[in-house]
Amino acid sequence: MSIVTSEPVPRPGILDIAAYVPGKEHAPGVARVFKLSSNETPLGPSPKAIEAFRHGAEHLELYPDGQALALREAIASVHGLNVANIMCGNGSDELLGLLCHVYLGQGDEAIITEHGFLVYKIQIMGAGAAPVEVKEKDCAVDVDAILAAVTEKTKMVFIANPGNPTGTYVPVADIRRLHAGLPKHVILVLDAAYAEYVRRNDYEAGLELVSSNRNVVMTRTFSKVYGLAALRIGWMYGPAGILDALNRVRGPFNMNAPAIAAGAAAIRDQAFVEKAVEHNTLWLDKLTHAFQAIGLKVTPSVTNFILIHFPDVDGKRAPEADAFLTSRGYILRAVKGYGFPNALRMTVGSEEANRGVIEALGEFMGRSA
């Protein structure tokens, strides 16, 4: 018998979810603002993507291709994949949500890690399942801790590789070991949102593991190195069984036409991506050294952002640093919600922004950079 209430009531657990809080955008009273809080690229998108977007806007009265074929074909050709194993989403966020809604329900568990991307927890709880949080080791995913947390209720394991907000990565040998230790019905989700930035021989985003298994998916995004965050484009590479299930419930026109066109043009312009990665690699190194030189601890990053840890000293902690930087127009990301109350995450910005933050943090710490 249903209970009559005076207003609609969401499913149990929904109101326990803490909604996602995006990075700050404004610095009140400051004329020139550098937003370094959302891991967006300082170089913008490829000019070819902008041109394709404009062209794609010429017929807004038409529904988009519900299969997003032009985009899937472009992704397949650049990465050497089978088109049928690629699914596009309105940002990879949508795909992460779909996975949870299709494979999780009441009584199920999904494993996330201590400093993992907050969207996983939100979507797991949104599907009525229980997130099981596993400790990380020195800001890095601990494969053994994950394997130890698997129970008969476990249905899914989420790993951002590289991790956000830590910027660390799990070598491919450990990812393979993790997969080998999981039961065959548990889905391993490899979220490789920052894969393009990684310059390490022992890193793999997960293509091979997906190709040879039925329980691994890899998600990617156009929001970071491709500079198309505004258009919301993500993609998943996965086995036929999982894609078939997800395709049954995804919105029939989940990708808009200008996004399909711009995404396809962006991924075909790999020369542009190389330039963006080159800028990032150069500044990741310079920023890391500069921050260390003024006495700050930095978690070694392979991404386009850096986790900066502040001293546990009155007036020098992360909240004060955040306020100081914001007053100068540099907006970084407070990461208390990720388990780092005394750290800030900085996205690698333009040369001007990077130099400005180095100088401002030097002043904040009372040390010249």
Residue closer to ligand PLP (CB basis): 85 or 164: 164
Instruction: Assess 280 for contact with ligand PLP (CB under 6 A).
Output: no
Q: Residue 169 corresponds to which tokens in the numbers above?
A: 């990565």
Q: How far is the CB of 92 from ligand PLP (least distance, A)?
A: 4
Residue closer to ligand PLP (CB basis): 142 or 360: 142
Instruction: Give the 3-state secondary structure of residue 331.
Output: strand
Which of 64, 88, 93, 237 touches ligand PLP (CB under 6 A)?
A: 93
Pinpoint the alpha helices (H) of 229-269: 240-249, 257-268
Residue closer to ligand PLP (CB basis): 109 or 191: 191
Q: 369 burial class (0-12, 13-18, 19+ CB within 10 angstroms)?
A: middle
* Contact mark string toward ligand PLP, 150..169, x via CB under 6 A: ----------x---x-----
- Cβ pair 156, 111 in contact under 8 A: yes
Beta bridge partners of 309: 297, 343
Using CA atoms, how far residue 323 sits from 40, 95, 277, 329, 361, in Å, is 21, 35, 30, 10, 11
| Residue 337: CA count within 13 A, CB half-sphere | 16
d(CA 16, CA 20): 13
- Cβ pair 336, 309 in contact under 8 A: no
Given the rule CB under 6 A, which of 86-94, 144-152, 205-213, 348-356 is the region that contacts ligand PLP? 86-94
Given the rule CB under 6 A, which of 166-174, 202-210, 221-229, 353-361 is the region that contacts ligand PLP? 221-229
CA dihedral 105, 111, 114, 119 (to 10 degrees): -40
Given the rule CB under 6 A, which of 40-48, 76-84, 88-96, 205-213 is the region that contacts ligand PLP? 88-96
Using CA atoms, how far residue 286 sits from 12, 33, 211, in Å, is 48, 21, 37
Q: How far is the CB of 365 from ligand PLP (least distance, A)?
A: 28
Instruction: Assess 193 for contact with ligand PLP (CB under 6 A).
Output: yes
Q: How far is the CB of 187 from ligand PLP (least distance, A)?
A: 16
Interface with ligand PLP in residues 112-131 (CB under 6 A): 117
Q: Which residue is nearest to ligand PLP (CB)?
A: 91
Number of residues that bind ligand PLP (CB under 6 A): 13
Instruction: Assess 229 for contact with ligand PLP (CB under 6 A).
Output: yes
Instruction: Assess 301 for contact with ligand PLP (CB under 6 A).
Output: no
Question: Tokens 């020139």 label which residue?
Answer: 32
Instruction: Assess 206 for contact with ligand PLP (CB under 6 A).
Output: no
Which of 37, 215, 223, 256 touches ligand PLP (CB under 6 A)?
A: 223
d(CA 245, CA 155): 15
Closest CA to 334 of 1, 24, 9: 24
Q: 317 burial class (0-12, 13-18, 19+ CB within 10 angstroms)?
A: middle
Instruction: Assess 97 for contact with ligand PLP (CB under 6 A).
Output: no
Q: Residue 202 corresponds to which tokens in the numbers above?
A: 């022992």
Q: How far is the CB of 22 from ligand PLP (least distance, A)?
A: 9
Instruction: Specify the DSSP element, H or E, that contains 234.
Output: strand 233-237
Instruction: Assess 191 for contact with ligand PLP (CB under 6 A).
Output: yes
Which of 41, 46, 92, 326 touches ligand PLP (CB under 6 A)?
A: 92
Instruction: Assess 299 for contact with ligand PLP (CB under 6 A).
Output: no
Instruction: Assess 234 for contact with ligand PLP (CB under 6 A).
Output: yes
Q: Which residues of this protein are in contact with ligand PLP, per CB under 6 A?
A: 39, 91-93, 117, 160, 164, 191, 193, 221, 223, 229, 234
